[in-house]
Each structure stands twice: as structure tokens, then as C-alpha cells.
Amino acid sequence: MENKIKPGLTGEVRMTVSEKETAVVYESGSVPVFATPALIRFIEKAALLSVASYLEEGSTTVGTRVDVKHLAATPVGMEVVVTTRLAEVTGKKLLFTVEARDRIDLICSGIHERFIVNTDRFVSKATGKLTK
């Protein structure tokens, strides 16, 4: 099914910023606004969801690069919409353009890269580090 993964696929995640997604909780800042690490979490989720149903059984995607500008602060209680668009497919490499908006501003833009991997082999290689 991987050959069905073509540029143009889109993903979207809608969420309302809660206290648990703030820079204070993530320890990435001292202000109670939507944290950049939390934003990246939702970017990765939207990208994963956009291609998940096209993957072969036993495969998944893993994030390998995030390059975004966090352009505006979003307060607790405001909805954020994260969208991804698959821009390029090169073998197993997937490159997405990403953006996020609250109801006032474009709060983020950039790119996100993922690779298609065999889930069992990937986990085995990672856990194999424990025995070295």
C-alpha cells in the first residue's frame, strides 16, 4: 500500500489548549501559553494520521525532522487547528509542510519529515541498545 502514499495527502488535528500543554508544564518556558513542544506533538500526530491508513501492515512512520517557526502565542482555552500536507515522497522519506492556526493568528509554519519503517525491526533495533 505504500505506493498509495502520494503528495497531497493532508492531516488535521483540532485541539483546545489546556493547562497541560503550556510552556510552564513542559518546562520550556515560564509563561502559561501553548508550548512549542506540545505544538510539535500535534504536528507529528496530524502527519502520522494523514498516511496511517495507506501503510502496509506492520509498518508505521517515525518523525526524523521538525523545522518550524512558532509565530504567535496561544492562550489556554483557545482552539488550535494543525494541518499537514504531504509535499514530497522520496522512497520511504515523507516531507510535509505544516501550519497551525488559532482563531486569530497563523501560529506556526514549517516542515516535518517522517520515514516509513517496519515497526518490529525498528523497536528491536532501539531496544537492542539496552544490551550493548
User: Domains in the chain and their CATH numbers?
Assistant: 2-131 (3.10.129.10)
pLDDT at 118: 97
- The answer to whether 73 and 33 are in contact (CB under 8 A) is yes
User: How many CB atoms sit inside 10 A of residue 108's CB?
Assistant: 24
Q: What is the mean pLDDT of residues 97-109?
A: 99
Q: What is the mean pLDDT of residues 73-80?
A: 99
- The tally of CA atoms less than 13 A away on the side-chain side of residue 52 is 9
Verify whether residue 70 is a known catalytic residue.
Answer: yes
pLDDT at 2: 52
In the set 10, 60, 70, 99, the catalytic residue is 70
pTM of the predicted model as reported, rounded to 2 decimal places: 0.93
pLDDT at 4: 87
pLDDT at 1: 47
The C-alpha atoms of residue 39 and residue 110 are separated, in whole angstroms, by: 12
| pLDDT, tens digit, 9 for 90 and up, residues 29-39 | 999 999 999 99
The C-alpha atoms of residue 88 and residue 66 are separated, in whole angstroms, by: 15
Q: What is the torsion angle, in degrees rounded to the nearest 10, for the CA atoms of residue 51, residue 52, residue 56 and residue 61?
A: 80
Q: What is the mean pLDDT of residues 90-97?
A: 98
Q: What is the largest CA-CA distance in the chain?
A: 50
Verify whether residue 88 is a known catalytic residue.
Answer: no
In the set 22, 44, 74, 112, the catalytic residue is 44
Residue type, 2: E
What SS3 string covers 38-50?
HHHHHHHHHHHHH
Portion of the chain with pLDDT greater than 70, in percent = 98
Q: Is 78 helix (H, G, I), strand (E, B) or coil?
A: coil
